[in-house]
């Protein structure tokens, strides 16, 4: 597992482009036939992808966890962002995930298998996992079942819908929150005024982009903003002290996931526009 240690803002403001990318960007999320995970020390979120082709895949308790099995002290979510359908078998129960379906699996589950329905059109399961102190039931949700927030306007280039899937009014979990933001044509993730939440980190997977499109992901302390240029199906870690938004050269969508304390969207610390530098 790729390990990413935490950073503090006083150091991060001195990072050059290569260092920013090494620290926060996950360039390869989906590898055919593999589960590929990154362990972030920011709220100990594990994120990555599973792209089963012919064989079923599982989550291994790699050495970094020092547990007998992956979900011994963790919870996990899978969101299918690929065109192909997935089967996820959880202790003998089969769940079928089409694009944008999410499956939450709680602490204590040992027996879990991930497969593509059609090896010629593999599923791409985006994985996020946080530490867990209690067991919540396994639950699947479609994007239509999620709580929705319609935000922004075309005039301000930010008309979008936030679909909150694992959330205070959605699937329950210990600390993991997850959803997907879909844009109206011509809008970008211009979530102004910007915000931080020092209680929680956040991570994003950008997807549904064409090969030449890029998202300029904005990060950093409000008075020291930086950007990372991100291609399709790449993920980025956003420390709790960092602002987060993105502008694409073409259309895109993103999955957001948060871990840490407080289980809400409503505790953001809003940054006045004149504080952004």
Binding site for ligand LADIRMRS (CB under 6 A): 160, 162, 181, 189, 191, 197, 202, 244, 256, 265, 268
Shortest Cβ distance from residue 101 to ligand LADIRMRS (Å)? 18
Rounded CA-CA distance 110/264 in Å is 29
CB-count burial class (<10 Å; 0-12, 13-18, 19+) for 201: buried
Shortest Cβ distance from residue 202 to ligand LADIRMRS (Å)? 6
Instruction: Check the annotation: does 195 bind a ligand.
Output: yes
Q: Which helix (H) or strand (E) holds 47?
A: strand 46-50
Q: Which is nearer to ligand LADIRMRS, 40 or 181 (CB)?
A: 181
Using the Cα atoms of residue 45, residue 235, residue 261 and residue 275 in order, give the sign of their dihedral.
positive
Q: Which is nearer to ligand LADIRMRS, 174 or 182 (CB)?
A: 182
φ and ψ of 145, to 5 deg: -80, -10
Shortest Cβ distance from residue 151 to ligand LADIRMRS (Å)? 6
Closest CA to 119 of 85, 75, 167: 85
Rounded CA-CA distance 28/105 in Å is 24
Q: Which is nearer to ligand LADIRMRS, 108 or 193 (CB)?
A: 193
Shortest Cβ distance from residue 63 to ligand LADIRMRS (Å)? 32
Rounded CA-CA distance 96/212 in Å is 31
Q: Which is nearer to ligand LADIRMRS, 105 or 255 (CB)?
A: 255
Q: Which is nearer to ligand LADIRMRS, 48 or 179 (CB)?
A: 179
* The token pair that represents 277 in the structure block: 């530098």
Instruction: Check the annotation: does 244 bind a ligand.
Output: yes
What are the binding residues for Zn(2+)? 195, 197, 202, 244
What are the binding residues? 195, 197, 202, 244
């Amino acid at each position: 597992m790729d390990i990413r240690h935490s950073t503090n803002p006083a150091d991060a403001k001195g990072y050059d482009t290569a260092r920013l990318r090494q620290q926060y960007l996950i360039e390869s999320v989906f590898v055919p036939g593999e589960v590929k995970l990154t362990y972030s020390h920011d709220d100990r979120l594990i994120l990555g992808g599973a792209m089963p082709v012919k064989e079923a895949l599982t989550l291994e308790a790699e050495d970094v966890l020092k547990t007998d099995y992956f979900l011994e002290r963790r919870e996990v979510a899978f969101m299918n962002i690929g065109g192909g359908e997935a089967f996820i078998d959880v202790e003998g129960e089969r769940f079928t995930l089409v694009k944008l379906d999410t499956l939450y699996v709680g602490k204590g589950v040992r027996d879990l298998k991930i497969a593509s329905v059609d090896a010629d059109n593999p599923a791409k399961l985006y994985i996020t996992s946080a530490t867990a102190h209690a067991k919540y039931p396994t639950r699947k949700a479609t994007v239509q079942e999620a709580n929705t927030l319609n935000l922004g306007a075309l005039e301000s280039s930010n008309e979008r819908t936030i679909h909150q899937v694992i959330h205070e009014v959605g699937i329950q979990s210990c600390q993991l929150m997850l959803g997907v933001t879909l844009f109206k044509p011509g809008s970008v993730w211009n979530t102004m005024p910007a915000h931080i939440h020092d209680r929680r980190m956040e991570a994003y997977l950008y997807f549904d982009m064409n090969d030449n499109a890029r998202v300029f992901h904005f990060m950093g302390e409000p008075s020291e903003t930086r950007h990372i240029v991100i291609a399709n199906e790449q993920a980025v870690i956003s420390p709790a002290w960092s602002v987060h938004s993105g502008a694409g050269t073409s259309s895109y969508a993103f999955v957001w996931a948060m871990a840490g304390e407080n289980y809400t969207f409503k505790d953001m610390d809003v940054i006045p526009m004149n504080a952004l530098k």
